[in-house]
Structure 1
């Protein structure tokens, strides 16, 4: 679909998409399916952060780690998997998963859905206008008839710490793409990236120390027991987890990173990973040409239309709007936004009602997430803390997953916990959190329950198969029922 360009090529499309990660690709596919001419602009690899530097390579590193951990719990198998991982094979598989950082297959897919591609750096140049600087030094001037969708995502946030530039720190990109195992790795942060990369690199042979600022613990946005259980698992695996540890300064001397902590303590490492959040990729996007502030998150409504821009032509989809920084939610938003752009282009009113065709309601009501650690964490909907802050009356139901028959079959000494939040006023599921080996596969059923607002009396008729871990659903319902029944007078 590439077209020959002059030094200043002018083109007009119905829709211009900035960024070809999973979010941008889904927006482009949906608008093209709606019959709108669409071009996508990307300055790096088609497929974006998730495909090459985040979700895909990180899970390629983690899968053998977690599979071995599961196998070591099974009598008759643990002896066969007692040795170290084949690091070279794990890294080679990671490289295959990311297609050796080449995007030929993604380009082929884009051609198959009839979306044009321009490689280069795009900047807004006024309302509905985009200027693209190509790698060859040419300029392509684009005009959108209906919409410009910003799908540029986020980049790793690196704090301003004295000496940080001198140590060349790892971010999530280096952590997922490294070609060798560091002897000693310091991980700064306690969120998802931090715990997953600590899990992976420790199992691959690195001596890992986690430095977690404050006393909230790991995975602070989830139910507290999830972070506690993950911390226990990391410590048992050999990770040094230090809470309340802040980095004051850094230096690289004789090839190693010297870390000075705020309390005066010192630590040495071969590499240091900062997993301390994300920033919006809007700093060099030309936002000032339409009256917005470069570097800001783009606040959007339920259809992903930027609220601060007149005439409704600018959309911010995925991480860049700061609603939910998860790939699957970005793809969900993309389907919503693409359909809304198509409807509005046809002169139709967008359906922005709750759970309507053009409303990203799940972003606030039912966000699923899996943390690939040992133990695994899976959650959707509200946490207990979030329910309290929102003024929702919920009843908390906990159950030890080790009590279900499926856990006995799954592993010897299974450790896990489930929490069900019941909306006390409506009798529906408001949130679910699972912790334990293999619980990620329980998450879609929980998501359906939350999204569908299924009454608990109906859930009794959803029969879990025996013997599977999904029987925990029945045990949670039984626990809730027994609590509701009055005792003997």
Structure 2
């Protein structure tokens, strides 16, 4: 581990994927960088989110794929081995050790500084006894953590958050999940597949930020897997008695469970970051411009990338923002002119208009861009079309009964796609094509000439365009 000096060109606070990308990019451009991390280098995604959660979900998806086709279905003779699944998950989380990530960072020329970093003034970061100074910029990449809902007793009983849900070493007999977002749906699917009796408590439908067809498909899949999805009900009080959690609902009923997962939103990790020393409010999200420069701090030296700026709370979008802000920092350090316009390396635009995401439930959900409702609310003249993916030849080969839907939202004024939503097995592998179409603003008349291979599930693109009228 490198000993910190006192001055660097750039100081990055937070060593998750966003911080790693920001630091690596400025070092590649010839600047020096220190990356401050208080926990594990690699951050939330590597140890408590993306990687371990998908490692938990993949075995159930593989089993479902095998059961979906005659011939392989008959070869499936058992159920998931929970111990083996958890052991494989541990491998993906590198047993919560970051030696490999630290070695990568130092090999890339980044100085890794262990400890809790706090701003102490302009371009100043204190880590323990060390006082670090940035010549050009400080980049805050501290991310977010789980927000506990306003339920009596929930802060006192040791509930699961996303961290415990992805790192638990044993399958709970009964699990109650509060929240119907991505974390709630994925963890309900994962632990149900491993043998837990799961109950979900959601205020309305699942995956409320996506097209309604997405939430309906996931809810049907969860119910088919044995998950008890209760909509329109809320927990009002929770207590832990003799190792068991008792949940009181607003309808007067009670639930008993072994673990309670709070999956009801995120909050910025800025409580103890020294924001007050630069005129910002501790615990707040940080507003940034399209170069990820914090707008409320004078001097143009403070940046915030990833979850902490609240533009798009997804790992891949944090990495995208890191690349953008690094390009801006380097250009400004070199005294270059920086016209802020779309599709230049130092301007983030996709985190507002073309955010792709995948929900790894069964069925999967993949989406990019705006929903139909969002597009209409933005004042666009739109037309939306849907097509059953199971009617595509490649899908019928993939599964004897492929249940899925594709929806395309078109801005009819510009003749371009502004949003796509897909449901069904493995649709996550299709979403990048939609992302390219949305980001590239490819006219439908031109997109029609992008011929999909036959017989592949990607033929859904041809069917959507035909349904649209081309």
TM-score (ref. length: structure 2): 0.99
TM alignment of 1:367-446, pairs within 5 A: 367-446=355-434
Q: Tell me which residue corresponds to 1:41.
A: 36
Q: Tell me which residue corresponds to 2:55.
A: 60
* Separation in structure 2 between the aligned mates of residue 456 and residue 195 of structure 1, nearest angstrom: 34
Q: Does structure 2 conserve the Cα–Cα contact (< 8 Å) formed by 1:72 and 1:82?
A: no
Q: Does structure 2 conserve the Cα–Cα contact (< 8 Å) formed by 1:256 and 1:269?
A: yes
SS at match of 1:165: coil
How far the C-alpha of 1:82 sits from its partner, in A, is 4.6
1:174 to 164, 187, 193: 164
Q: Tell me which residue corresponds to 1:211.
A: 201
1:313 to 297, 301, 322: 301
How far the C-alpha of 1:366 sits from its partner, in A, is 0.6
Q: Tell me which residue corresponds to 1:301.
A: 289
SS at match of 1:310: coil
4+ long deviations beyond 2 Å: 79-83
2:151 to 114, 137, 161: 161
Q: Does structure 2 conserve the Cα–Cα contact (< 8 Å) formed by 1:249 and 1:261?
A: yes
* Separation in structure 2 between the aligned mates of residue 166 and residue 35 of structure 1, nearest angstrom: 49
Q: Does structure 2 conserve the Cα–Cα contact (< 8 Å) formed by 1:17 and 1:149?
A: yes
Instruction: Confirm or deny that 1:144 pairs with 2:134.
Output: yes
How far the C-alpha of 1:165 sits from its partner, in A, is 3.3
Deviations 1:148-170 (A, max 9, x none): 00000001101232222342100
Instruction: Confirm or deny that 1:237 pairs with 2:225.
Output: yes
* Separation in structure 1 between the aligned mates of residue 338 and residue 103 of structure 2, nearest angstrom: 32
* Separation in structure 2 between the aligned mates of residue 412 and residue 420 of structure 1, nearest angstrom: 25
How far the C-alpha of 1:438 sits from its partner, in A, is 1.2
* Separation in structure 2 between the aligned mates of residue 188 and residue 355 of structure 1, nearest angstrom: 40
Return 5+ residue gaps in structure 1 as ranges: 134-138, 483-489
Deviations 1:306-346 (A, max 9, x none): 00000110000000000000000000000010011000000
* Separation in structure 2 between the aligned mates of residue 42 and residue 231 of structure 1, nearest angstrom: 38
Q: Tell me which residue corresponds to 1:28.
A: 23
Instruction: Confirm or deny that 1:116 pairs with 2:104.
Output: no
Q: Does structure 1 conserve the Cα–Cα contact (< 8 Å) formed by 2:148 and 2:155?
A: no
Deviations 1:285-313 (A, max 9, x none): 00001111000000000000000000110
1:198 to 185, 188, 193: 188
How far the C-alpha of 1:432 sits from its partner, in A, is 0.6
Deviations 1:81-133 (A, max 9, x none): 25220111100000001110000110111111111011001110011111101
* Separation in structure 2 between the aligned mates of residue 169 and residue 48 of structure 1, nearest angstrom: 21
1:276 to 244, 264, 277: 264
Q: Tell me which residue corresponds to 1:100.
A: 95
How far the C-alpha of 1:358 sits from its partner, in A, is 1.0
Q: Which moved more, 1:406-415 or 1:162-171?
A: 162-171
SS at match of 2:248: strand
Q: Does structure 1 conserve the Cα–Cα contact (< 8 Å) formed by 2:147 and 2:264?
A: yes
Q: Does structure 2 conserve the Cα–Cα contact (< 8 Å) formed by 1:351 and 1:357?
A: no
TM alignment of 1:217-366, pairs within 5 A: 217-366=205-354
Deviations 1:380-431 (A, max 9, x none): 0110111011011111011011110011100011100000111110111111
SS at match of 2:454: coil
* Separation in structure 2 between the aligned mates of residue 268 and residue 293 of structure 1, nearest angstrom: 39
State how many pairs are aligned.
Answer: 470
Return 5+ residue gaps in structure 2 as ranges: none
* Separation in structure 2 between the aligned mates of residue 393 and residue 358 of structure 1, nearest angstrom: 30
2:76 to 62, 73, 81: 81
SS at match of 1:257: strand
Deviations 1:174-224 (A, max 9, x none): 0000000000000000000000000000000000000002x2x00000000
* Separation in structure 1 between the aligned mates of residue 351 and residue 112 of structure 2, nearest angstrom: 29
* Separation in structure 2 between the aligned mates of residue 350 and residue 246 of structure 1, nearest angstrom: 49
* Separation in structure 2 between the aligned mates of residue 91 and residue 78 of structure 1, nearest angstrom: 24
Instruction: Confirm or deny that 1:185 pairs with 2:175.
Output: yes
* Separation in structure 2 between the aligned mates of residue 326 and residue 311 of structure 1, nearest angstrom: 28
Q: Does structure 1 conserve the Cα–Cα contact (< 8 Å) formed by 2:307 and 2:314?
A: yes
SS at match of 1:167: coil
